Amino acid sequence: MSLELLTVAMFVTLILSITLGHQLAFTLAGVATLFGLIDNGFNLPGLFDLYANNVWGLMNNYTLVAVPLFIFMAQLLDQSKVAEALFESLYVVLGSVKGGLGLAVVVVCTVFAATTGIIGASVVAMGLLAAPALMSKGYQKEMTSGIICASGTLGILIPPSIMMVVYAGLTGLKETSVGNLFAGAIFPGLLLSGLYFLYIVVRCNLNPELGPPITKQEASQYTRSQKWGMTLKSLLPPLGLILMVMGTILAGVATATEAAAMGALGAFLLALFNRAITWQVIRKSSIATLKTTAMVMMLFIGGTFFSTVFLSMGGGDVVADLFVGSGMNRWLAFAIMMLIIFILGMFIDWAAILLVTVPIFMPIAMQLDFDPLWFAIMMCVNLQTSFLTPPFGYALFYFKGVAPAGYTMMHVYKGIMPFVAIQIVGLVLLALFPAISTWLPAYFFGS
């Protein structure tokens, strides 16, 4: 079998296996083993030696220690009721504006994203907290679901982001270290948040029925000083936690792993201050962290098997020749890579996409003379759409699971379409103005 045919067959087998519903980590490992044996003449000991060498390098990666720490931080923050306190204060402050409650959701999710990095926590928390409030004030179902799902996905992009930690662990490049990726993702995350904000303001002013303001009676219950006091009281604790994590990384005081440990400690103290810590909470958070970390590491192992076999049999060279050796314009090659990631995001989990595409696309991007940090940010922003795009966008199912009665999946699908378009606009802006994602890392860590 020719190398080109073997490469195509490997990808087709992977996609078919995933669509049949098999567990992703074991699918990656199984497909890799099958094609590795075909490629090396069914030399099983030799294939296992190859696996052992590569997995040993993976398990020695100090950066990945940040994964369970960030997950544990997110679990504790979910118990500390930070999001509820902030939404309740912004409900009063922004509620009198057309679309104001939607704007409050965007602000809360942006702050929450900068403290957790876990999509499920943000979407579920806002679905339980904000969806009934928005619906009771007459917000359109589609607008409500779109705001919550799209804003909730900011957690995968705005640091501290598990996706950035995974990406850094896959490349091992100085340019795409966790610190550089965290710094590079701040402005793109805020850009998307700002675009959501602008869209809600424009749409709700053009058609106030989509997001009507709260009544004047509700708005006048508090004085201006009381509103400021409520907002500051609910905003300062998460901002302090953000400063503890991101401030220490950007200042060069701590590595990402050390900052993750500080963040976990800060989340524990915040939950303790809010009297939300019990042995049951600690036990529940620890077990959830263990399960999620085990899932991520199994995906890592399966992805390492897949990329090791794919690259060792020469599949990377086949793809590189397609993009580089064909004389294709580098921007066309870039657009094709982004399109592949976008389409894969409709069907496959972001972790699997990273594990499969990063070892293949990153060398190609560097051969095409793209900045590896900028390319990494573009991939991560693109992957954020994978949580929203039907049929398998995780955020859509998270929201539907906690949505008020009367919601159908069609309401959710219709609601997220404008926000997917906004994410694509954000991706185009980042392509046109690379400094949005490269200026801050250059400022803090040098070019």
| pLDDT for res 354 | 85
Find the range with the poorest average confidence among 24-33, 79-88, 131-140, 190-199.
79-88
pLDDT of 271 higher than 70: yes
Q: Is the pLDDT of residue 425 over 70?
A: yes
What pLDDT is recorded for position 218? 65
Q: Where are the domains of the chain?
A: 61-277+314-445
pLDDT at 429: 95
Model confidence pLDDT, tens digit, residues 115-135: 766 676 678 777 877 888 888
Q: What is the pLDDT of residues 312-339, one digit of tens each?
A: 887 777 777 777 666 778 899 999 999 9
Going by pLDDT thresholds of 50, 70 and 90, the confidence category of residue 418 is: very high
In this prediction, residues 72-81 reach a mean pLDDT of 75
> How long a stretch of residues is the chain?
447
Q: For the whole model, what pTM was predicted?
A: 0.83
Band of pLDDT at residue 447, cut at 50, 70 and 90: low
pLDDT of residue 372: 93
SS (H, E, C) the chain: CCHHHHHHHHHHHHHHHHHCCCCHHHHHHHHHHHHHHHHCCCCHHHHHHHHHHHHHHHHCCHHHHHHHHHHHHHHHHHHCCHHHHHHHHHHHHHCCCCCHHHHHHHHHHHHHHCCCCCHHHHHHHHHHHHHHHHHHCCCCHHHHHHHHHHHHHHHHCCCCCHHHHHHHHHHCCCCCCHHHHHHHHHHHHHHHHHHHHHHHHHHHHHCHHHCCCCCHHHHCCCCHHHHHHHHHHHHHHHHHHHHHHHHHHHCCCCCHHHHHHHHHHHHHHHHHHCCCCCHHHHHHHHHHHHHHHHHHHHHHHHHHHHHHHHHHCCHHHHHHHHHHHCCCCHHHHHHHHHHHHHHHHCCCCHHHHHHHHHHHHHHHHHHCCCCHHHHHHHHHHHHHHHHCCCCCCHHHHHHHHHCCCCCCHHHHHHHHHHHHHHHHHHHHHHHHCCHHHHHHHHHHHCC
**Token pair of 416, please?**
């997220």
Q: What pLDDT is recorded for position 438? A: 93
Percent of the chain with pLDDT over 90: 15
pLDDT at 231: 76
Mean pLDDT of 187-207: 92
Task: Check whether 63 has a pLDDT greater than 80.
Answer: no
